[in-house]
Each structure stands twice: as C-alpha cells, then as structure tokens.
Amino acid sequence: MSDVKMRGLTIDGRTVRAAEGTSVLKAAELAGIAIPHFCYHPAFEAEGNCRMCLVEIEGLPKLDLACSTIVREGMIVRTSTPSVLRARRDVLEFLLAEHPLDCPICDKAGECKLQEYYDRHGLFPGRFVEAKEKRDKKVAIGKGLVLDRERCILCTRCVRFLRKVTGTGELGVFERGVRAEIGIYDGVPVDNNYSGNLVDICPVGAITDTDFRFKTRAWFLRKGPTVCSHCSRGCAVIVESVTGYPLGEGQRKVFRIKAGENASVNGTWMCDLGRAGRRDIDERRLVRVMSNAAPEEELSWQKALADVTAMIRAVPGPERSAKIAVVLNSRLTCEELALAKKVFTDGLSLGKIFFADPKPGAADGLLLTEERMPNARGVLQSGFAQLLPDLDTLMAAEVLLVFGSHLLEHFSEEAVFRALAGIRSKFLFSAHASPLDRSAKIVFPVAVPAEKSGTYINIDGLRQSFGRAVEPPLGVTSELEILGCLASGLGLNRGEPDAC
C-alpha cells in the first residue's frame, strides 16, 4: 500500500485524499459524500450512460461525470450546486417520464434507486402528458428471471455483468433511441450459475426473480448477514426473512438470500446454488424431537438427551472405542467441531468418528468450489480426519450418533437401513427430514448454518466468523448446544468451546 500515490482534492469544501486512479464518485463516497448514480457499479469500468452522477469540477465548462473522472491533485469538486441539482432533477424527470410508476406492485419498491433518488433529489410534479411507450412487462429471460422493459432504465448493469463477470453474454441492447431495450439473443435464455446477481444489481424493478416476485415487500425483510454454507468458498451473503407480521403470529419465512460484500472472497456476487439455499432454511425442516417408537408422542429435549447419555454410559469405558460410533459432517462450525473433539475424542476416547458430507460437484471457475460443504478446513484443523464410514464398521456399533443425513448420498437407503438394523441405540441429529429419520431411535431437529453463529474456514484458509442470520424455529437448537448438553450429561469437562 505504501507505494500507492495519494491525491489531495476538495469535494464540497472538504479536503479528501484518495489513491491515484480513484474516481471522483468513489473518493466522495470515502469522504461520506454520496453522489447518486444508476449505471456505475464498483465491479465494472464506468459506463457513463445514466448521467445521474454529473458534478461540477472547477475549470471545466460543463458538468462532468463523477463515475469516470479520475481524481487529480488540487481538483475542486462540487456535488450540490444549483446546476448539479438541476441536472440530477432533469435526469430523474427524463427517466420517470417513460417509467410506468407501478411501484405499488413492483417488487423493488422500498429498495429502488429511482424511488430513493426521486425522494431525495426530485419531488417535482410530472410534466409528461404524452402516451408512454408500451413495452413487454414480463419477458422470461431464463432461470426464473422476469424482465420488465417498462421499468428498465437501460443502465446496462445486467448486460455488463454477463459480459464481464460470467463471460456468458446472454443479454444485449436491441433497437435504439426510446425503443432501445434489453433482451436475450435469438431466444437463447440466461443460463449460468450467477443469474441471481442480475436481480441484485438491477437498480430498479426491471429484473425480478419468480422465486421472490409478489411474495412480500422489501420493507418487511429483516436482513441477516452470514457466510454461505453451500460450498467451501464462504461467500458473504445476506439472509432476508420475515418473522411475524405480515405473516401469522410465530411464523417465520426466508424470502431470499442476496450477495453480501466481501472484497477478499466474493466481491459483491454469489452463485445461484447459494441463493437457492433459502429453501434449505425453510423447507423440509424437522422441528420436534421424535421417537420412532412413538412418533405421535411429545418428547422433551431433556428426556431424549438423557436417553442418549444413558445409552453411552451403558457401554463400559474400555468397550466404548469399539462399540460407539459417531458420524459428523463438515457443515459443523469450528466451535462445534472443537466441542465434538472434547466430548468424543478426549472425553469418551472414541475411535469410530466419521464424516458424511454432500458429494463434491463441479467447480465453475468463478466462486463455486467442488467441495459442497463450508468447513472442510475447519474439520482438519480440529484434528479430525474427514473419513467416510464403511457400513460394516457402523454395523458393529451398539450406539450410533449421526449428525446430518448425508450418509444417503454415499450409500443406498436399503444398504444403510440394513447396516443400522441391528444397532440398538441410533440417534439422528438433523435439520431436514429424510428417509434416514425412520432408521433412528430418536430424531433431534437441529439448526441450519444460517441459524447459528460460529466460524468457518474457507477453501483458501480464511477464517470467517458469523452471527445468527435468522432465528431458528421454535424447538430447534444448534449442535453446539446439543454437544454441550451431552458433555454435562456425561460428566465431561466441557471447558470453553474454544474455536479450532
């Protein structure tokens, strides 16, 4: 950093220092001065088409773009003179002239740049009395995305994203003048693993996602930042959920997952697989402790966990290593893994500790990794070996604790059931319902990663701690708490759950 040349300039009377090559817009932002803009996006070169960021630069005869003008030593910039304000107002008036103004039914309402800027820089009565252009309002452009050409302000962020980030270039600008429009080429749809970002970067409601369309309003959403758990990249994401109103009392729903910002991991993007992870948080969830012997009966956590500890205690110390088996997974946080280590390895001296994880998929060269679990590095750092069990070994156990349902990805349901049939005490700790549930003596519902706080270590060895992004359903708890209960139930020194 020391060899970066700094430039001193004045923006609205404030002295600002910015690195050589910084745009006026960015320099102003660093100084806390927001210059409105639609087409500029920090991930792309300046495009300069929206004309919203025009500012006054001393010595220049005309207003100039803040997004594309690079800072110079001694530059004097003014961002709120009458001529700048007039230019902004004019751009807003031009854009709104042909805009459908259908905010009441637009999903972007509440987080729309056009709304926001009109509120802050517009507030003029409309002077456009002509017939507005009629355009297609629901063009399916692929991957569940819907393009509304009446709302589009042609900032071309979507076009540039597909050309510069994914390199797939499915969208282009067609026609010209007021009839210019975004579209796909010859009916070939948007088809890449990053399509959801188009919705994130659209500054207005032109590109929406059928998964979110008409489901809720932006202002009801509670935004919880976390780290994505669907591969080992560890992208910053934001889980957006509603708890209670306008849903029913006690109800909770995750409406979408958006990309968060992390310059050293994902920039401002995330993949569609991670985005689809919203279903993981809401769907097929186990929400109560259940004994397969009496599935209808209410079973308390205390009673069920007491059963687990009793079964473990029933195995004499020297035999535990051979007769108790544990299957963990790499979605557990470092904190959970550390505690598992204390309980199972240090406390109970178990030998049969295994891992069952989602199978690897194809990496896409952008963010998505082959590994489809978030914390494989954490597993290794905790001192575990990421060893898949063989069913014969499991069959020999008398007590089996399984965390997660990924055994079924590696073995057929039939084989797993056959192997587990002879085991007396089988306990399953899982967030989601699966066929494995029926094979367990007791099924415990656990939290998904978005409902936990903890630490993951990503594919590059980066440790990332995160907080709880969304509240778990009532009656659901994390593996960390379960392991803590087991530790105290077994009279083991739980110690501090220090991170791995």
Partner 1 sequence: MIEDAVRLIPADDSSWRIEAYLRRGGYEAARKAVTFMAPQDVIAEVRRAGLRGRGGAGFPAGLKWSFVPQGGTAPKYLCVNADEGEPGTFKDRAILVRNPHALIEGLIIAAFGVGIHQAFIYVRGEYASIAGRLEEALAEARAKGFLGRGIFGSAFGLEVVVHFGAGAYICGEETALLESVEGRRGQPRLKPPFPAIVGLFRSPTVINNVETLANVPLIIGRGADWFAARGIPKDGGTRIFGVSGAVRRPGLYELPVGTPLRTIIEEHAGGPPDGVAIKAVVPGGLSAPVLKPAELDVPMDFDSLARAGSMLGSAGIIVIGDRTPILDVLEVTARFYAHESCGQCTPCRLGTSWIHKIVSRIAEGKGRPADLELILDLAVGMKGRTLCPMGDAAAMPVHAIVSKFREELERTVIP
- Contact residues toward partner 1 (CB under 8 A) are 46-52, 54, 62-63, 65, 68, 87, 90-91, 93-95, 97-98, 127-131, 133, 153-154, 172-173, 175-180
Contacts of 475 (CB under 8 A, 6+ apart): 287, 288, 289, 445
Task: State the nearest-atom distance from the C-beta of 48 to partner 1, in Å.
Answer: 4
Minimum distance from CB of 197 to partner 1 (Å)? 23
Residue 209 makes CB contacts below 8 A (sequence gap 6+) with: 144, 145, 146, 196, 199, 256
Nearer to partner 1, 73 or 460 (CB): 73
Which amino acid, one-letter code, is at 472? P
What's the min distance (Å) between Cβ of 93 and partner 1? 7
Token reading at 223 = 């935004």
Judged by CB, which is closer to partner 1: 153, or 436?
153
CA 117 to chain centre: 27
Q: Say how many C-beta atoms besides its own lie within 10 A of residue 156's C-beta.
A: 22
**Cis amide prior to 125 (ω within 30 degrees):** no
Nearer to partner 1, 98 or 116 (CB): 98
- For 152, half-sphere exposure in the C-beta direction (CA atoms, 13 angstrom radius) is 30
Q: Per-residue DSSP letters for 54-119?
A: EEEETT-SS-EETTTPBP-TT-EEESSSHHHHHHHHHHHHHHHHT----GGG-TTTTS-HHHHHII
Work out how close the CB of 5 gets to partner 1 at its nearest, in angstroms, rounded to a whole number.
19
Q: Residue 22 Cβ, how far from partner 1 at the closest point, in Å?
A: 16
Tokens of 69: 């003008």
Within 13 Å, how many C-alpha atoms sit on residue 297's CB side?
A: 10
User: Closer to partner 1 at the Cβ: 97 or 139?
Assistant: 97
C-alpha span between 413 and 417 (Å, rounded): 6
Q: Which is nearer to partner 1, 173 or 287 (CB)?
A: 173
Q: Which is nearer to partner 1, 53 or 227 (CB)?
A: 53
Min CB(18)–partner 1 separation in Å: 18
**Comparison of 135 and 494: residue with beta carbon closer to partner 1:** 135
| Cβ 98 to partner 1 shortest distance, Å | 6
Nearest to residue 215, comparing CAs of 256, 157, 267? 256
